[in-house]
Amino acid sequence: MPVIVVANPKGGVGKTTLATNIAGYLASRGRAVMLGDLDRQQSARTWLALRPQGLAPISAWEVAHDEVVRPPKGTTHVVLDTPAGLHGRRLDEAMKLADQVLVPLQPSIFDIHATHEFVRQLLAHKRSGRVKIAIVGVRTREGGLATDQLRDFLGTLAVPLLGFLRDTQNYVHLAAHGLTLWDVASSRFERDLEQWQPLTQWLDA
């Protein structure tokens, strides 16, 4: 049962957006998905409460007393959203569970430096040959100087860059209704689905 952890030390970088859309993708493929939330704000749980009935189901993965409860039998995939400032015991707990760790990174010098240290910590926690770690650029603008700088920086890290997700209100509008890119059929989202292809290939590998 793969556990996919979405993590970054900074807040407001799109972790919940990434986690919910990963869960939506897996659910659209017929997987029995549970979405967990280690963040005290419980944004992922709020999103689940908004999700309309009749869509590909995504269940909540309960966290009680700050400890992750084992998912029930029949679960095929778990997606875990994490809080800002993930470190210490919480980081140890997440890395013990993780099969895949996806780190969203915005094209900001402050985010870049914070994430560099965080990736170093992830690699230090990584169990030999077991956990896959990758980065995805988020809220990026194609051809922008900041995006080019981000690409250059990521070339110095020992983890793969899966691609870039553009800065668009599409994710905001979908989240407001408990939806993901895979719940809607509209040409409006074709560019976003195209950008997700390297991510979904990595998830399926």
Domain boundaries, the chain: 3-204
Q: Note the pTM of the prediction, 2 decimals.
A: 0.90
Report how far apart, in Å, the C-alpha atoms of 135 and of each of 30, 43, 125, 164 are.
Answer: 25, 22, 16, 9
State whether CATH 3.40.50.12280 applies to domain 3-204.
no
Report angle CA 132, 133, 139 to the nearest 5 degrees: 140
What does the pLDDT look like over 103-147, one tens digit per residue? 998 877 778 777 888 888 888 876 555 889 999 989 877 666 566
Which residues of the chain register pLDDT less than 50? 65
How far apart CA 71 and CA 73 sit, in angstroms, is 7
At residue 65, the pLDDT reads 47
